[in-house]
Amino acid sequence: MKGVLSDLIYESCQEMMKEITNVEKTKEGKIKGKKAKDLTIKEWKTNKGIVEEEIDKEEIDKEEIDKEEIDKERFTKDQIKNLLEVPSNQIYGDYSLPCFYFTKIFKMAPKLIAEVIKEKIKMMDTEGILKNLEVVNGFLNLYLNKENHIKKLLFEGRKEDFGCGKAGLAQTVCIDYSSPNIAKNFHVGHLRTTLIGNSLYHIYKKLGYQVIRINHLGDWGTQFGKLIVAYQKWSNKEAVEEKGIEELLRIYIKFSKESEQNLELEEEARSWFVKMEQGEKEALTIWKWFKEISMIEFERIYDLLGVSFDYYTGESFYMDKVPDLVRELMEKHLLSESEGAKIVDLNQFDMPPCMIIKKDGSSIYHSRDLAAVLYRKKQYQFDKCIYVTGQEQKLHFEQVFKVIELMGYEWSQNLIHVPYGLVRLQGVKLSSRTGNIVYAEDILTEAIKRALELIHQKNPNLDQPKEVARKIGIGAIIFHDLFHQRMKDVDFSWEDVLSFEGTTGPYVQYTYARAKSILKKAENKPKIDEVDVSLLSDVTTYSLLKIISEYKESIYEAANRFEPSVIARYTILLSTAFNKFYHECNILNADENLRDARLIVVDLTQEITKDAMGLLGIECPEEM
C-alpha cells in the first residue's frame, strides 16, 4: 500500500512543481506583494491563474527547464515511500506524511505543503483508495478506505506469485556467489555469500526474471602452486585420501608459516603455477585431484542448505579465454607495460593499475574475471550481472567494471557488486592462513542437533523429528545471517547463531505451524467471495492485514536494494502481528461469518509466511 500512496503523493508533487516553478518565475518572485512561501492555501488556488498571466514569456523560452530532471534531482518515489510513517495510534491515520522534508523543495510552510498535497490527492484518487485526509500541523494523515483495501488485498493475495511475477519478464540476471576456494574448508565466512546469493536468486525468480546461478570456484591461482609444494614436502597420497580437505588445509597453513622464514618456497610455488598454466601434466593431475576432493565437501554442504547452481564455472574455465581478452585490450590501445607486467592504467580514475598479465607471463584474477564477464555477456545476454562477495573486494570490482567500460561496452553499468560485511571470530577476521576458522558443516550439524534436543523436550511425539530438526536448525542459521543488513560485520558466536528466542527463524517457523494447525482444525476452508470483509475492520485484524499488504512491496524493495534482510525483517513483523491476532481474536469459536472471515486471514498469513521464508531459502515444517 505504501507504493500506491507514494505514487499518489509523487504525482501530486509533480503538479505542485509545475505551479511552484510558475510562482518562482514571476518578476521578483512576488504575487500581490507576497512571496510564494507566504501564500495561504486559498491564495494559492485563487492566484494560480494570475501567476501564469504575469510570467515573462521571453524568460520562459530562455530558461526552459526539463521538469523530469528537476524531479529526479529533488525527490523520488522511493524517498516519498520511505517518508511515509505508520502512526502508533490509528486516530492519526493509517499512514502519515511529514511535510517538513519538502520545505526546501517548495519553499513553503509545511502546513501549506500538506494542504496542497491533500487537495491534489483528492482529485487524483479516482479508485477511492482513501476515505479521508487530514492536515495536522506539518503532517498529512491518510486514512484508507478499509473495506475497499481489504477486498483488494484478499483478491491480490490469491494471485499467482502475489501479483509480482511480471516485473522481470524477458530479462536475465546472472548471480555470481558462494565461490569457495578449492582445497580449503567451507567456513562460516563462505556461508554469507552463499546465503545472500541464494536469497537474491529466489527474490529475482519470484519477480519473473530468468536467473543464472554461477559458482565461480576459486580453482586457479598461485595458491595451488603453494599447495603442490606443501603436498610434496609435508604430506602424501594416503594422508590426503584419508583426511581430505582437513589435510590440505593443514599443509597450506604450514606453507604460510614456513614461507615467512624461507622465501625460496614462494618462488617454487610460483614456478609450479606457471607449469599449471602451461598445461604440465603432473601439475594438472595433482590440481584436478585436489579439486575433486574439495567438491565432495562443497556438495555435502550445499545439500544441507538446499542450495544448487546452474554452472560451476571456476577461474580455470576462463583460462583459455584470457588470450582473446589480451588481444582485444591491445587492439583498443588499453594495455601498457609496467615492470615487465601488462596492465591497464587507471590512474586518471584514482585507482591503481589493473594487472592483466604478471611479469612471469601468468594470468591473474583481474584477467580471469574480465574474461568471465565477456563470456557471460556473450553466452547469457544478461540484463544484470551481480557479484556477491565481501566488501574487501570493492576495489577489485571497481577496476574490473572500469576496464569493461573503457573497452567501450555500455552494458558495464549493468555490472553490480553486492558487498557484505566480514565475519569475525571474537573480533578477528577469519583466515585459512592462520587457522582462525569456524567450519560451516560444524555449525549446521550442531544447529540440527540442538533443534532435535528441543523437539525431544517439547514435543517428543512429533512425526519425523529428524526432518523437522533439519528444517529448524538450518533455518536458524540462514535466518540469523540474513536478518542482519548485509553490510554489517557479523561477530560470530555460537550463542547468537543457535538461539531459538526472539527475532529468529524458529519463531517465524512456529508462527507458520500455528497457522497451519488452526486451518487443520477448521477442516473446511471458506471461499473469499463468500466472506463479509466488513467483519475484519477491528484494530488488531486490520493491523495484520496492513502488514500482509506490504509483502509485494517488500519483495521489490529487497530486489532493488539487493538486501534479503528486508524480507527477513518483514517475516518478523508479520509473525508478531499474527500472534497478536491469534491471542486477541477468537477464531475457531467465533460465529460462523466471523470465523470464516478470520480463517481467510489465517490462510493468507500462512501462505505469505511460507513464501517469504522460501525467498530466504528456508523451509517451514507443518508441525513443530
Split at pLDDT 50, 70, 90, the class of 335 is very high
pLDDT tens-digit series, residues 103-162: 878 888 889 889 999 999 998 888 888 999 999 988 999 998 888 888 877 776 666 667
Split at pLDDT 50, 70, 90, the class of 185 is confident
Mean pLDDT is lowest, of 335-344, 469-478, 517-526, for: 517-526
Question: 581: closest CA among 536, 618, 520, 540?
Answer: 540
In a domain, residue 513? The reply is no
In a domain, residue 430? The reply is no
CATH number of the domain to which 123 belongs: 3.30.1360
Do residues 42 and 136 share a domain?
A: yes
pLDDT tens-digit series, residues 357-379: 998 888 889 999 999 999 999 99
184 is catalytic: yes
Given 81, 149, 187, 552, the catalytic residue: 187
Do residues 1 and 139 share a domain?
A: yes
190 is catalytic: yes
Split at pLDDT 50, 70, 90, the class of 403 is very high
Instruction: Tell me what pLDDT residue 431 has.
Output: 55
In a domain, residue 226? The reply is yes
In a domain, residue 115? The reply is yes
Classify 277 as helix, strand or coil: helix
In a domain, residue 515? The reply is no
C-alpha cell at 183: 582445497
DSSP secondary-structure letter at 525? Answer: P
In a domain, residue 331? The reply is no
Do residues 242 and 117 share a domain?
A: no
Whether 47 has a pLDDT exceeding 60, the answer reads: no
C-alpha cell at 98: 511529514
Classify 514 as helix, strand or coil: helix
In a domain, residue 542? The reply is no
Do residues 139 and 14 share a domain?
A: yes
Do residues 43 and 137 share a domain?
A: yes
pLDDT tens-digit series, residues 409-456: 999 999 999 999 987 766 556 555 555 567 888 889 989 999 999 899
Which residues pair with residue 490 across a beta bridge?
A: 423
Do residues 109 and 226 share a domain?
A: no
Which residues pair with residue 96 across a beta bridge?
A: 85, 141
Do residues 134 and 263 share a domain?
A: no
Residue 417 backbone dihedrals phi, psi, to 5 degrees: -95, 125
DSSP secondary-structure letter at 265? Answer: H
Whether 59 has a pLDDT exceeding 70, the answer reads: no
Instruction: Tell me what pLDDT residue 25 has.
Output: 52
Report the alpha-carbon angle 567-570-572, nearest 5: 120
The Cα 508–Cα 510 span in angstroms is 5
Final residue belonging to a domain, choices 91, 122, 144: 144
In a domain, residue 294? The reply is yes
The Cα 400–Cα 417 span in angstroms is 11
Strands 490-492, 428-429: parallel, antiparallel or unpaired by DSSP?
Answer: unpaired
pLDDT tens-digit series, residues 241-278: 999 888 998 999 999 999 998 989 999 999 998 899 88
The answer to whether the beta carbons of residues 199 and 615 sit under 8 Å apart is: yes
Do residues 138 and 230 share a domain?
A: no
Count of domains forming the chain: 2
Given 2, 190, 202, 384, the catalytic residue: 190
Q: Give the global pTM.
A: 0.84
Do residues 140 and 226 share a domain?
A: no
Do residues 124 and 233 share a domain?
A: no
Given 81, 111, 118, 184, the catalytic residue: 184
Instruction: Provide, rounded to the nearest whole percent, the portion of the chain with pLDDT above 90.
Output: 58
583 is catalytic: no
Final residue belonging to a domain, choices 129, 144, 159: 144
C-alpha distances out from residue 456 to 334, 502, 619, 624, Å: 65, 21, 20, 11
Instruction: Tell me what pLDDT residue 233 has.
Output: 95
Range of the domain at 240: 222-305
Final residue belonging to a domain, choices 144, 164, 192: 144
Do residues 123 and 229 share a domain?
A: no
Q: Say which residues have a Cβ less than 8 Å from residue 350's Cβ, sequence separation at least 6.
A: none
Q: How many residues does the chain have?
A: 624
